Amino acid sequence: MTLRVGQVANLRAIANLARRRTPISARQAKCAVFVLLLSGCGHYADFTLSPPDPSGPTAPFTWQASPAPVLTRGDPAAWDSSDVLNPSIVRFNGIYLNLYSGYDGHTWHTGIASAADGAQWQKIGRAISPEGWEGSYIAANGTALVSGKEIFYWYVGGPPGAHKIGLARSKNGGLDWAKNPEPVLSPGPRGSFDERAVADPYVIRRGEWFYMVYLGQDRASRQRLGIARSRDGIGWEKMRSNPVLELGDAGAFDEMGLGEPAVWTSGGAYWMLYTGRDRAETRRIGLARSSDGVRWERELSFRPLAGTEAWNNQVLCDPEVELLPDGKIRVWFGGGDVAAPDQGVHGQIGVGVLTGRMAPEDRAARR
């Protein structure tokens, strides 16, 4: 097999033990070999997702957005006074719930809002704040999924530049949350694409597996996208060939960073909206496609989405998708009027619709 950076480091450590004048015991040698094997196989795997859904819309897609935001910043004293971004939306007991990120100028929290139709949102309040291993900067920028009778919410915690991903669960519609005591996804070993930080999770369920697409940051501060899988949402194994999507070419809308993915399947493919950053820190939303959920390429027929209103003319980010019964795709997104890579963009949340080409059998079924 080919040895990776972390494995080579462990082999050197074993060799150093062997060169010591004091003989190592059989137990020490066995433990050293175990560490080597664990670093090579324990949290990494080769995999693909189940075949994509054949029905539903496919490229080319057209875009239409509502001109006004659907969720706005709070008053100057509120916990979400500076930015309201990163919509993460589920339907629970017939009601839409939006676990969104709010920033007060110092700390990111996760708030919750509800709507009967996914459009007219009513803020309920702050749901999750950073504590413990999360530090004091962030417990937000997450992704929600209903599993059984619970809402699972994977979110970002930790200091800037060293993020990890945590998990909170609620059985009563987001009124109370139980956090996992430790992160469920951490940065990778030295030399990996995510050695410094992991962030921006987006989770889908396919069969018995949860799949998470996430941002990984390396020592050069490059931000690219990778994928991991889990049977229970807690123990994750990363795909060995990460990252799955690289930075764009020089001059491209995503040459400085990729993040905030949103994934769905329709029309015989997996699709992913994601945020791209250019050199001016203007953010736009691009589209990639995959036949197996792990090998991705940019959709060349898709023009990156840019904000066209005063409130989102510098930043369009944080997509969240819902495949509608009529074959259209509703997309909630964050927008801002200040170009910046993270916060202080006067963020608010908007909504739009992607309309794709339908297969003949899909059109016939709707007549």
pLDDT in tens, 211-261: 999 999 999 999 999 999 999 999 999 999 999 999 999 999 999 999 999
Question: Which letter does DSSP use for residue 133 in this model?
Answer: G
CATH number assigned to the domain with residue range 47-365, chosen from the 4 options 2.115.10.20, 3.40.50.300, 1.10.3720.10, 3.40.228.10: 2.115.10.20
pLDDT band with cut points at 50, 70 and 90 for residue 366: low
Of the candidates 353, 348, 320, 286, which has an alpha carbon nearest to the alpha carbon of residue 68?
348
Per-residue tokens: 116? 């009967």
Residues 6+ apart with CB under 8 A from 344: 82, 83, 103, 105, 338
Overall pTM surpassing 0.75 (yes/no): yes
Of the candidates 95, 253, 248, 66, which has an alpha carbon nearest to the alpha carbon of residue 172?
95
- The pLDDT of 342-356, averaged and rounded, is 97
The yes-or-no verdict on residue 63 having pLDDT over 90 is yes
The larger pLDDT score, comparing residue 32 to residue 262, is at 262
Per-residue tokens: 6? 């972390």
pLDDT in tens, 148-160: 999 999 999 999 9
The larger pLDDT score, comparing residue 25 to residue 171, is at 171
Residues 6+ apart with CB under 8 A from 21: none
Integer Cα distance of 49 and 203 in angstroms = 13
Integer Cα distance of 103 and 320 in angstroms = 19
The yes-or-no verdict on residue 15 having pLDDT over 50 is no
Domain coordinates of the chain in residue numbers? 5-42, 47-365
pLDDT band with cut points at 50, 70 and 90 for residue 360: low
The larger pLDDT score, comparing residue 102 to residue 13, is at 102
- The pLDDT of 113-123, averaged and rounded, is 96
Query: Per residue in 216-250, is it b (16+ CB within 10 Å) or e — as a string?
Result: bbbeeebbbbbbbbbeebeebebbeebbbbebbee
